Chains A and B, each alone.
Chain A
Amino acid sequence: MSLLRFYAANSGEALQLLLQHLLLVLASTSLAVAIGVPLGIVLTRRPRLRGPVLGVANVFQTIPSLALFGFLIPLPFLGGIGARTAVVALVVYALLPIIRNTYAGIQGIDPAVREAGLGMGLTSGELLKLVELPLSLGFIMAGVRIATVIGVGVATIAAAIGAGGLGVYIFRGVAMVNDTLILAGALPAAVMALGFDWVLGRLEKRLTPRGVRA
């Protein structure tokens, strides 16, 4: 009840934080896809890079998110206070599941299919476009889905470096020991995560080609 009263009284601010949050997640996930999918493809062509690249992405993921935001603040260009730094940190977190799933999705294709494709005279690009990407698209989408859901959660911490988003309410609520405020941030973030999960899950199913669908 008190939550509804809070939203009624602060609808403008709440909506703004929600949109900021959404924007942080969308911007960082799109960037992570733009970097991670090509990188995952490169790993299937250059197996030697696999260890180092996945290793680095793995290490990024183990840095506590609050610490990562802190580390980024003093950096020139990428860092500083505000949304840009937050997006950088969120991209870093989103990369691992996307790279890993792209790589694993393509690598998991029956080797006979690849051999037949190469043997019948597909170029590497044709093989990628006609065979490898369509067959691994569902898998890649699963990675994007994981990355997005993680991103919604991590983005709440972005408020700590002045990037806004729903974390603003959570931090404020923690500081003031006010459950209603914490909920005002946490509840819509949770709903957003579930929403992305559902939508991207549907997309994942639709992008899995007929003929390989379970």
Chain B
Amino acid sequence: MSPAAEGAVASCRGATVAFADGRSALRDLTLDVARGETLVLLGRSGSGKTTTLKLLNALVLPTSGEVVVEGRATRDWEPHRLRRQIGYVIQDIGLFPHFTVERNVALLPALERWEPDRVRARVTEMLRLVGLEPSEFLHRYPRELSGGQRQRVGIARALAADPALLLMDEPFGALDPLTRAELQREFKALCRRLGKTIVFVTHDVREALLLGTRLALLAEGRLVFSGAPEELRRAEHPEARAFAATLDA
């Protein structure tokens, strides 16, 4: 194992995701996720960033190559065991509409058979963490929340079982600009505080620069740039230039 891969929470090694018709969503991707970093996957729609994210929690398996998480190939994990150690936040949030906020956040700890007192304390802690006053929100249903509040609950739910890795797929993409900016700011502070390893998908280069400690740029299923946010402007690949150019517009 290479020294770089040793400190990695997860790594893709020559991972390819091909469809039956021969087209591929992702070609020969090699990428490490280092412990404690916020890696932002940047790219246009269809560039393979969501597929990359789903490789990490085994919602997609590589057709060739391998993806290793916590030292074991995703193919060899029992999918649900792997996923319970990985928080997952998606744009459409997917809160369980028949559960209160409390039950939504408590679900995974409860399934993991935490003591009820510990679950309750954890839910309260998580809601405070994402800026929701527990007494006001615990017993509400998702449809009684605004979009921003829902995504806060989505993040609280993803963090509840204290995952080693947090995957976020355009979590703020569906929010209005003001709420989005607010959540981005708070989320950045949250990341610093928690020191979690995060892989964050976005097509918004400003968001990528704000949140990422490292960027990986994908184009047509290939990794075309990977480096510190400030290096993006100096990158030579046309896709990197195209993204960098939108910053000056």
Contact = CB atoms under 8 A, between A and B. Distances in A.
A30 interface: no
Nearest to A113: B94
Contacts of A211: 97-100, 141-143
Given A120-B108, A121-B80, A113 B96 contact: yes
8 contacts: A110-B92, A115-B59, A116-B96, A119-B59, A120-B84, A120-B157, A211-B100, A211-B143
Interface stretch (A130-138, A167-175, A187-195): A130-138
The secondary structure that dominates the B interface is: mixed
B95 interface: yes
B83 A119 contact: yes
Contacts of B95: 113, 116
Given A120-B84, A134-B98, A115 B158 contact: no
A92 to B, nearest CB: 33
A126 B93 CA distance: 19
A11 interface: no
A116 B83 contact: no
A178 interface: no
A117 interface: yes
**Chain B CB within 10 A, most for which of A112, A116, A118:** A116
B57 interface: yes
A116 B88 contact: yes
Interface residues of B, number: 32
Given A122-B80, A126-B111, A135 B98 contact: yes
A126 B111 CA distance: 9
A214 B192 CA distance: 41
Contacts of B84: 120-121
B113 interface: no
B107 interface: yes
B94 A112 contact: yes
Given A113-B96, A121-B81, 7 more contacts: A116-B154, A121-B82, A121-B83, A123-B80, A126-B80, A134-B98, A211-B143
A120 B92 contact: no
A1 interface: no
Contacts of A121: 79-86, 108, 111
A118 B96 contact: no
Interface in A60-103: none
